[in-house]
Amino acid sequence: MEYLHRRIVELKSDAVKPTTLPSFVCDSCLEDPVTSCDEEMLIEGREWAWDKTVTTAATLLSKQNREVRFHPGYSSGTAAVRGDAAFLHGRIYYWEIKMLTALYGTDVMVGIGTKNAKLDKFAYQFCSLLGSDKESWGFSYTGKLQHNGKSHFYGPPFGKGSVVGIYLDMWKGTLEFFVNRRPLGVAFKNLQGLQLYPMVCSTAAQSAMRIIVAVSQPVDLKLLSLRLLSTDNEIMQTLIRVPGIRRYLISMWWILSGELRNICGNMQSPEFENESTKYQVLSASNTTVWPVIIS
């Protein structure tokens, strides 16, 4: 920590060019954050898709199982899908789902659930499925939260064109939602120790949504340090001037605090809205792998 503060003081001087950083990127990436690192590789920012093994006639998957269309013909109840991989303990997850069609009817929801959640329980009944019992947690297009059959208002409604973000911290056991990258606050707590999956459901005929990003990071010393530093505006104003760190902060905007979260989230919005975002993995010896937005 003493070394970090010394480097911050040096960075404040225009005469000092940063050459090494106790930070989130390797030294060579400071010169060219896009192409310098020998071990870099390009990956899509989508770590999972919808599970095709649990679909029904009321759910149609496409685009490598990242897009789902509910009730392709007509609707006679509630349909749902879940992700093809469970979330791991000791990691944080963030994913965004874009609403491709108008939302209407009884309910359209995003959220999480355990493997015991019965996705076909209400195939012939219109209901708010996610959160209808203790096995799932849901956020409705009407702005309500629901768990264990109890619901209450939480945030603004969303509809066609909206991007709904979900931030799950498997270390702290918290779940938070975003609408168009605006944080709505912690929605649910005490989720530690559960085997959870991403889920969505809909009662609306021909409604569709698509995963546009799904990323995760381990909870380690670097992540905890970033969380702590992000509460100090003076330090962050200095760090964000460094190109490699700035790209990292923009790509990880959802774990930041206060106004910096909004600023970095807004800086990233055009890439996500165009759905052309790529993630660059920068790694070096003894360095954790981090995703960085390529502009």
131-145, 172-186, 233-247, range with the lowest pLDDT:
233-247
Does 49 map to a domain? Answer: no
Q: Are residues 109 and 155 in the same domain?
A: yes
Q: Are residues 194 and 258 in the same domain?
A: no
Does 11 map to a domain? Answer: no
Q: Are residues 125 and 230 in the same domain?
A: no
Q: Are residues 112 and 245 in the same domain?
A: no
* Contact call for residues 283 and 292 (beta carbons, < 8 A): no
CA-based torsion, 193, 197, 198, 203: positive or negative: negative
- Give the residue carrying structure tokens 């109890």: 150
Q: Are residues 71 and 207 in the same domain?
A: yes
Domain residue limits at 232: 221-269
Does 201 map to a domain? Answer: yes
The pLDDT assigned to 191 comes to 97
Q: Are residues 68 and 134 in the same domain?
A: yes
Task: Using DSSP, state whether 37 is helix, strand or coil.
Answer: coil
The whole-angstrom separation of Cα 133 and Cα 75 is 23
The pLDDT assigned to 14 comes to 31
Q: Are residues 73 and 171 in the same domain?
A: yes
> Between these two residues, 64 and 19, which has the higher pLDDT value?
64
**Cross-strand pairs, 111:** 138, 199
The whole-angstrom separation of Cα 279 and Cα 203 is 34
Does 40 map to a domain? Answer: no
Mean pLDDT over all residues of the chain? 79
The pLDDT assigned to 240 comes to 80
Does 36 map to a domain? Answer: no
The pLDDT assigned to 237 comes to 81
